[in-house]
Amino acid sequence: MALAFIASSAASTIIENLVNAGLSYVDKHQVPRGMQEELQRLQQALPQIKAILAAVEVEQQMTERNEALEAWMWQFRDAVEEAEDVLDEVEYYEIEKRVQAPDDQVRGTISKLKRKFSSFVSPSFRNDTLKRLSEAVKGLDRVAAGMGPCLQLVGGLSGYGVKCRQFDEIRNSRETSSFLLEKEVLGRKTESDMIIEWLIKPTSDEPESLATANISVFSIVGIGGMGKTTLAQLIYGNGRVQQYFDQTMWVCVSDIFDAAVLTSKILQDMTKRSPNVQNLNTLQNMLSEKLISKRFLLVLDDVWNDNNRMEWEKLVAPLKFGRRGSKILLTTRMDSVADMVARVMECKKECLKLEGLKESDCMLLFNRHAFANVDPNDHKNLQSIGKQIAEKLRGCPLVAKVMGGLLNSCMDYNYWKRMLSDNIVNLQQGVNGTMEVLKLSYHHLPTDLQLCFRHCSLFPQDHRFRGNELIYMWMGLGFVRQCGKQSPEDIGKEYLAQLTRKSFFDILYEDVYVMHDLLHDLAQSVSSKECLRRKGDSLRDISKTIRHVSIETTSSLLIREISCLKNLRTRTLILHIKKDRNRDIDHALILGHVLKELKSLRLLCITADYLCKLPDALDTLIHLRYLSFQPESDFNKNLPEWFSQSVCRLYHLQVLDIRFPPEMIWNIDKNSITEINGLSDLVNLRLLNVPHGLMTKIRWIGKLTSLQKLRNFHIRVESGYKIGELKDLAELSEIDVGNLENVRSSEEAVESKLNEKENLSSLSLNWSGGRSSAPEVDEQLLDNLRPHINLQTLSIEGYIGVRYPCWMTDFCLPNLTSIHLRCSRLEQFPPLGQLALLRNLCLSNMAAIKRVDWSVYGSADGCAFPFLEEMKCFIMPAWEEWLTAADGCPFPQLKILKITDCPNLRGMPTLPLSLRELTIHNVGITAIPAMYRDISNDNNSASSFELAPSLCVENSPSQSSIDGFLLQQQEYFQALRILSIEECERLVHLPPEWSANLFSLESLTIIKCPKLITCGIQDSNLPSAIQSLSFGSCGGLYASLLGRLPYLTSLTSLTLRKCAITTSLPGAEVFARLASLSRLWIWYCRELASFGGIEALASLKYLSVVGCDKLITVSLLQPPLGADVSQGGAVASSLRLDHLHIDRQSLLSMEPLRNLSSTRILTLDGSSQLTSLPEQWLLQNRSSLQCLIIGNADSLQSLPPSMTSLYSLQKLTLFGAPSIQSLPEFPASLWSLKIGGCHPVLEERCQKDTGLEWPKIANIPHVTITNENEMWDTYG
């Protein structure tokens, strides 16, 4: 259904601007006959058009499919978009005219370019543009002439009787009750038990201080079909719940949130009869009287109201008369509803995000419905198909029921097979179908958000959306509508926040979002007529309504077929070109011809395995707003011509995003990139993300006055690269400036006008290293780079002044939240302690700092840094003293403290109990600092630790004991999650009580503390919940830790390092108890001669063996690989290693490594004695081996011919292989080949097209072969 295809306000604005532009031209020029009358008719019809659009937007949820209305809407959309293109074209040529004016005129007229369409006064039309304007007016006039029937239809939709009937139908279909429809609810015991415990939690555990503490609220949040109502019914009917509460009520709310109606429903459920009154005041009085002195439970099912706070307050007003301990249980699809009700009730937000069922439970539910009323044993041929179908259901109970019911209606093998291959999206059956249920959420979205959501269907399932990228895409497509002075980026952020609060997105981590599979299916369903995603299929016979296209292909034919979209109004093209191994095709050339046909494109994303050049035809895309180019494999480093000057004529462009993989950036010859003057003509550019080498070649960047962020701006002495280019960039929110030593005077620095940039939130000021200029030069310069008072993040690096700038105080920068200083000659810190909002502080390479005292705190009493959460101090060799006042309490909110490479620091201040992570590395202190409790902060008790703390003490040669810390800070110590003690050579012992008090410990590391004596660790010591253990070279403690291994049954990671006395790993009886151990490192255990019972580690997936000399000696005595096979004695290993990392090939002869047959990754690292690869071992793992990494292979002469037999191999990496001069044939599966430090002859022989070895590697998508010994990741 396309009824909400475009916001009515946007369409109306386009029509109004078209009429205004046309009338403006008519007044001054001769125009085609009839055009003035058409404009006048269109002007008169506009109110009726607005009425149709407004009615469709409001009534879309209740409107059944009407083909006539939909056909008219698509015709209208075509006409509106044609008009939009014409107006866009007019503005394009206006910009072009101004850009091509002399430079002084350009700078004087930049601001005039930032106008809306309505600012056309006397546009200079070209002949072809005038023709298109006339056609656009005619098109809209024709569509407007046919809107009569649509007016009647939407008038009927708005009729009172129709509305009532439709509302009743929707309400009845969604009405719920407290009675379960299932005899047994599968897979929700954990969730129901948790919520029941919360409901009947004793009142004494609840806070007394809140005004409405009598009532608490718990929200069950989840997308449609996840079983929220079923879970609420299960809880509501629980005997313990019914017994605990004096009164229980169930109300289905749905989307009509009216306080009077809902209050009446509550009363009806309590009294079992309908109140005969409608007056809200009377209803509230009746309800409050019923609830006085009663502890009640109210279930509000299917709640949607997340914006009308007043109605919420009316509803809860009489509920406050209930007895303390009363609860509300609420179900909703939107997290924003849970936020709203928590705010209204003035209570802590308590909620559960309901996820899908476990696969086993989903399978049981599916089978219950698929084999209902039949014996499954009579249909064994269907059970395997049913299992495959159930795996596609994503744990959704509703989908499992619907799908099972469909299959139950026809127990036919072919029918089930067809359902297996069908898309779940197509399985909508009536009002109870999955998509129909999910569409309720979609219909509740505002039109602009519907547009944004539908566009997400162009991306694959499980795609990780980058928030900033999404917002700029929506902006480029015109989905984000300007509102007052608010920037479009801020409006876009609010759009994304709303979609997240309404549960259409989940936040994976900062600025990265994911969408549930079912919601992705919903996006595909509601966008099927405008969005198309194809993977290798033909583009022929696609709907004429398609606007947005995403294609993944290796086929040049399919790329050519894109030109068939020329008859469509294609707005988006997302193209992922994969290299065709069998053909060498210039996809860039083909794509260039195709792009000439796609005149209406707004958004173009090109991702390619090997594409090295942007098409020259880009300048034909005059409407383009968003251009993204992402090659995914190496350039030839002698090819700098990848950039096309045609980009510089895309005057409407808002986003230019060119991203290379790190290895490609490394290979580009930056000196070969010439200056690119034309990019500064892109006056509408808001986001410029290009490689560093290109960024430094952009001249006159100060013309880009719409730019929001400026990174890698390196100052030069030449015109066009000076700091004065920042002068007119008033909208910048982020600036990263380098080479500040090239600023010639303090007056020149003032020209940047940093103190006038009120949008600036992040500023990075950088000087180059290795300079010998006088400190006064930098000091005067930095004084004149004073930023605006709104600045939040500041970084200063390479500054060689001895004093801090005059503006670096609390009253000059009161909004600072983050500071990074790397200033080697700075002798005293500014008074940072009085920056009230400061959260993060990083100090590095501060070589001249000797003392930190009350000057940094900004007050003599030492009370400072009130909200500092993270502090890092790196490489401060002269730092000796860190002082505070005797009764001072600095850093009351500190959570992370890292002190590294400060060898002369002899003491540290008392730290708050709020600390969650303390790392001390190469510091001269003799004792770990004590901790204080901030009585004003309730979060400083050990019982309130939301994130259990971490303590790491490393390379501290003066540390002889930590007894005082462990004994004095028992609350903190008992909550420790991570404890790491490394390279403390003077540390003699730990207190006897230490291991018994580690109740919360998950990770323990004790390495290179050779003087440690045993602490009497007993079987009862060390919690069995430890998941990671690393130890070695720890004196007498070693034997105690080794003896404790059998009791650490939760262990997943174990590292043995420099365990000099160990000759064998533990036996099978010990390892068998470590059922969860998946990763094992054995490093530099020189005396180790046996793997012991390692085969008993059933879960082991990663094994690393390095520097075990005795083990290597023993391995050399073993029979060669393959010998036991010839004697018929080979036995497959029970180990199922995923990744094996060894430093000597001979270790593969040891049991049980010699019999491995399912290894996926093999890393041979540091094997300078390697002369040939272990062919026999590789062949016995060929069905699984996907990645082979070989390092430091100085003696390796060649790769064996059997490489071609490794038919699963995908990645082969070698570095330090100077003897290899030729290559074998490789398997067809190989997609990445990297050889570094090879013989120069091999590099020459592998040159593209001309080298003798080229035919062997031509079909491998990613190839890098160089005699430079680049250090790649040896672990793949």
Angle 127-145/67-99 helices, nearest 10 degrees? 160
**Cα separation, 736 vs 866, whole angstroms:** 28
pLDDT of residue 996: 66
Query: DSSP code of 483?
Result: B
**Cα separation, 203 vs 1197, whole angstroms:** 77
Inter-residue contact 930 to 965 (CB < 8 Å): yes
For the purposes of burial, counting CB atoms within 10 Å of the CB of 796, is it exposed (0-12), middle (13-18) or buried (19 or more)? buried
pLDDT of residue 1121: 79
Inter-residue contact 467 to 513 (CB < 8 Å): yes
CB atoms within 10 A of CB 377: 8
pLDDT band at 120 (very low <50, low <70, confident <90, very high): very low
Rounded to an integer, the average pLDDT of 365-390 is 86
Look at residue 1201 and give its three-state secondary structure. helix
Q: Model confidence over 1063-1085: pLDDT tens digits?
A: 899 999 999 999 999 999 999 99
**Cα separation, 1217 vs 1170, whole angstroms:** 10
**Cα separation, 592 vs 775, whole angstroms:** 54
pLDDT band at 115 (very low <50, low <70, confident <90, very high): very low
CA-atom Rg of the chain in angstroms: 35
**Cα separation, 335 vs 325, whole angstroms:** 24
pLDDT band at 36 (very low <50, low <70, confident <90, very high): confident
Burial 1110-1125 (b: 16+ CB within 10 A, else e): ebbebbeebeebeebe
Pick the CATH number of 435-528 from 1.10.10.10, 3.40.50.720, 2.40.30.10, 1.10.3720.10: 1.10.10.10
**Could you give the percent of the chain with pLDDT greater than 90?**
39
Look at residue 444 and give its three-state secondary structure. coil
Q: Which residue has the higher pLDDT, 847 or 1043?
A: 847
Q: Model confidence over 1132-1180: pLDDT tens digits?
A: 678 889 999 999 999 999 999 999 999 999 999 866 678 889 999 999 9
pLDDT band at 114 (very low <50, low <70, confident <90, very high): very low
pLDDT of residue 1019: 44
**Cα separation, 339 vs 309, whole angstroms:** 11
Inter-residue contact 262 to 315 (CB < 8 Å): yes
Pairing, β 512-514 against β 465-466: antiparallel
Q: What CA–CA distances, in Å, run from 828 to 649, 773, 823, 862?
A: 51, 20, 11, 17
Residue 637 has pLDDT above 60, yes or no: no
pLDDT of residue 580: 62
**Cα separation, 170 vs 154, whole angstroms:** 19
Strand ranges, E, within 481-639: 506-509, 512-514, 531-535, 548-553, 572-577, 603-608, 626-631
Inter-residue contact 320 to 214 (CB < 8 Å): yes
**CB half-sphere exposure, 925, CA atoms < 13 A:** 22
**Cα separation, 1091 vs 1111, whole angstroms:** 9
Look at residue 1029 and give its three-state secondary structure. strand
Residue with tokens 């040669």: 957
pLDDT of residue 1192: 85
**Cα separation, 826 vs 851, whole angstroms:** 12
**CB half-sphere exposure, 1247, CA atoms < 13 A:** 7
Q: Model confidence over 240-249: pLDDT tens digits?
A: 999 999 999 9
Which tokens belong to 584? 């060498």
Q: Model confidence over 1182-1232: pLDDT tens digits?
A: 999 999 999 888 888 889 999 999 999 999 999 888 888 999 999 999 989
Inter-residue contact 684 to 716 (CB < 8 Å): no
pLDDT of residue 577: 79
Angle 335-345/488-501 helices, nearest 10 degrees? 90
Query: DSSP code of 114?
Result: S
What is the helix, strand, coil percentage profile of the chain, to 5? 40, 15, 45
Q: According to the 3-state scheme, what is the secondary structure of 856-907?
A: HHCCCCCCCCCCCCEEEEECCCCCCEECCCCCCCCCCCCCEEEEEEECCCCC
Q: What is the largest CA-CA distance in the chain?
A: 103
For the chain, the structural domain boundaries read 8-169, 176-353, 359-422, 435-528, 529-707, 1160-1276
Of 80-94, 583-597, 661-675, 864-878, the one with minimum mean pLDDT is 661-675
- Phi first, then psi: give them for residue 88, nearest 5 degrees: -65, -40
pLDDT of residue 126: 62
Q: Model confidence over 278-295: pLDDT tens digits?
A: 899 999 999 999 999 899
Residue 751 has pLDDT above 50, yes or no: yes
CB atoms within 10 A of CB 1076: 14
Rounded to an integer, the average pLDDT of 833-843 is 94
Q: What CA–CA distances, in Å, run from 888 to 213, 864, 883, 1166, 1196?
A: 36, 8, 10, 53, 64
Q: Please provide the DSSP assignment of 123-169 as one string.
A: ----HHHHHHHHHHHHHHHHHHHT-HHHHHHHHHHT-HHHHHHHHHH
Look at residue 998 and give its three-state secondary structure. coil
* Alpha-helix runs per DSSP H in 983-1115: 1037-1044, 1068-1071, 1109-1115
CB atoms within 10 A of CB 369: 16
pTM (2 decimals)? 0.81
- Mean pLDDT over each residue of the chain, to the nearest integer: 82
Q: Quick one: residue 973, left, alpha or beta (phi over 0 = left, psi -120 to 50 = alpha)?
A: alpha
Q: Which residues are within 8 A (CB) of 144 and not within 5 positions of it... i.e. 6 or more apart?
A: 41, 42, 45, 48, 49
424-427 CB contacts, 8 Å cutoff, 24+ apart: 424/392, 424/393, 424/399, 424/521, 425/521, 425/524, 425/525, 427/399, 427/402, 427/403
pLDDT of residue 103: 60
**Cα separation, 140 vs 593, whole angstroms:** 31
> Which range scores top for mean pLDDT: 298-302, 438-442, 497-501, 863-867?
298-302
Residue 987 has pLDDT above 90, yes or no: no
Of 120-124, 393-397, 833-837, the one with minimum mean pLDDT is 120-124
* Alpha-helix runs per DSSP H in 990-1106: 1037-1044, 1068-1071
Of 476-485, 633-642, 713-722, 758-767, the one with minimum mean pLDDT is 633-642
Of 273-277, 869-873, 1210-1214, the one with minimum mean pLDDT is 273-277
Rounded to an integer, the average pLDDT of 621-632 is 89
> Which range scores top for mean pLDDT: 100-104, 295-299, 864-868, 931-935?
295-299
Which tokens belong to 1177? 């071992």
Q: What CA–CA distances, in Å, run from 582 to 458, 554, 589, 1017?
A: 28, 10, 18, 64
* Alpha-helix runs per DSSP H in 616-766: 662-667, 692-695, 746-750
**Cα separation, 852 vs 874, whole angstroms:** 14
Inter-residue contact 1038 to 1059 (CB < 8 Å): yes
Residue 650 has pLDDT above 90, yes or no: yes
Fold for 176-353, please state it.
Answer: Rossmann fold (3.40.50)
Inter-residue contact 316 to 287 (CB < 8 Å): no
pLDDT of residue 909: 86
The CATH number that domain 529-707 falls under is: 3.80.10
pLDDT band at 49 (very low <50, low <70, confident <90, very high): confident
pLDDT of residue 296: 95
> Which range scores top for mean pLDDT: 203-212, 1104-1113, 1254-1263?
1104-1113
Element (H, E) at 74: helix 67-99
pLDDT band at 127 (very low <50, low <70, confident <90, very high): low
Per the document, the length of the chain is: 1276
Rounded to an integer, the average pLDDT of 787-814 is 92
pLDDT band at 344 (very low <50, low <70, confident <90, very high): very high
